[in-house]
Amino acid sequence: MVLTSHFCSAAHLRQTSRWCSQRPSRVKSSEAEWNLDGEGTLVDEETLQQRLEAAIKEENYALAAKLRDDLRHLYEDSKAAVLAANSRFYNAFRKGDLVAMHSVWAKGDNISCVHPGAGTISGYELVMDSWDVVCGADHEFPIQIELKNVEVFVKGDVGYVTCLEVVKTKGSSWGKQVATNVFERVDGQWFICIHHASHVDL
């Protein structure tokens, strides 16, 4: 939805505000995180949302339109940053790069991984052990991983990516997996905390 006028109705502004905070979409990857307000202060999504709601309540629609645009830009930037983190995860996977794989995951007992056909593995150390097995398997790296139907959703410090993985190794194919990758923002950087991949026949 594109609103061409800076002076639009409160209903349109509320609708766009909801769109910014709820709509999953397909976007290209780039790096960006935060928005600067007029005084050069970093402003997060929650602060912008509060300011937008206040401006609508005060019927200051010119300010509300600007805040709506700022919120939409911040949301798009956060989605791009999550997609960039998703790319780092798959690049580590493609290359069998254990150092990179260890660096893209959040640290803690709350992370989990479900490899195709396997059960849930929880906790940083066990999840990393599982990737040691995957990356240390008898494959010729880099392997080919094509991602299709990529969608991303972000809310605050949590985001997720859904996609279809098409994985091939030299002379064989792992087939297709539907994957969900969940990310959390820690100290301004996005880390994967859940990876779940399941075989599908398409």
pLDDT tens profile 90-147: 999 999 999 999 999 999 999 999 999 899 999 999 999 999 998 877 778 889 999 9
86 occurs within a structural domain:
no
Distance CA 82, CA 47 (A): 20
Let me know whether 49 and 110 are in one domain. Answer: no
| Count of the separate structural domains present in the chain | 2
Let me know whether 51 and 108 are in one domain. Answer: no
Let me know whether 41 and 76 are in one domain. Answer: yes
Let me know whether 108 and 73 are in one domain. Answer: no
Structure tokens belonging to residue 160: 């997720």
Per-range mean pLDDT, top range of 41-55, 64-78, 121-135, 169-183: 121-135
Would you say the pTM of this structure is higher than 0.75? no
Please compute Rg for the chain using Cα positions. 20
Q: What's the domain range around 138?
A: 97-200
Let me know whether 101 and 187 are in one domain. Answer: yes
Burial class (CB in 10 A: 0-12, 13-18, 19+), 197: buried
Give pLDDT, residue 191: 98
Let me know whether 112 and 162 are in one domain. Answer: yes
Structural domain ending residue among the three candidates 53, 80, 107:
80
Query: Residue 44 — pLDDT band, cuts 50, 70, 90?
Result: low
Q: Which amino acid is at 99?
A: V
Let me know whether 113 and 158 are in one domain. Answer: yes
Q: Is the pLDDT of residue 3 over 50?
A: no
Let me know whether 76 and 111 are in one domain. Answer: no
